[in-house]
């Protein structure tokens, strides 16, 4: 079973490989990161670690037994007990329940370790898989938005209302 880990400096090579391998797959549902992201990856990775160290964000990677990154689940823009949830799973790992398990685990961490009370998320209407993950993990639709230039939905999840089932991640 893959392990959810807090982002570390030594994750950089595997994370870069994950982003490169899945670039076209991700671009089908979210904006492409662009060439500069890949050209400045090491600097960007250091910046993310600094943000995490300051407590502004919590970045997680889903690691398989071989040390490869299968996904990312991030909490960003922490403020007054709230944060924005974002996640992406490798194409080769999609459809196996990993996103649902990883989001559940991060909800658990958000409440128990990070002291958060509410998570927000957004996805496009045409991203049925992401909408399903959010629904299965206790998020409710709160409104409409534009995400990646397309019609989307906003979601919220209170971390006070009910507990998240524990997982092996």
Q: State pLDDT tens for residues 89-123.
A: 999 999 999 999 999 999 999 999 999 999 999 99
Which range is least confidently modeled, 30-44, 59-73, 92-106, 111-125? 30-44
pTM over 0.95: no
CATH fold, domain 3-158, is: Aminopeptidase (3.40.630)
Q: Which tokens hold the place of 31?
A: 């904006």
Per the CB < 8 A criterion, the answer to whether 169 and 101 are in contact is yes
Average pLDDT, the chain: 92
Cα–Cα distance for residue pair 101/156, rounded to 1 Å: 18
- Provide the residue ranges of all domains of the chain, joining segments of one domain with +: 3-158
With CA atoms as reference, report the closest residue to 137 among 163, 111, 114, 160. 163
């Amino acid at each position: 079973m893959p392990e959810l880990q807090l982002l570390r400096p030594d994750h950089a090579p595997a994370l870069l490989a994950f982003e490169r391998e899945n670039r076209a797959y991700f671009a089908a549902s979210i904006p492409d990161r662009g060439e500069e992201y890949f050209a400045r990856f090491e600097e960007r990775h250091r910046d993310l670690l600094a943000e995490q160290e300051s407590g502004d964000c919590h970045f997680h990677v889903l690691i398989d037994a071989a040390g490869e990154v299968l996904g990312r689940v991030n909490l960003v823009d922490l403020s007054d007990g709230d944060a924005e949830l974002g996640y992406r799973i490798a194409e080769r790992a999609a459809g196996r329940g990993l996103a649902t398990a990883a989001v559940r685990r991060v909800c658990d961490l958000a409440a128990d370790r990070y002291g958060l009370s509410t998570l927000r998320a957004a996805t496009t209407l045409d991203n049925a898989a992401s909408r399903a993950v959010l629904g299965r993990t206790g998020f409710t639709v709160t409104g409409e938005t534009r995400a990646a230039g397309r019609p989307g939905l906003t979601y919220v999840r209170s971390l006070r209302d009910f507990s998240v089932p524990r997982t092996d991640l």
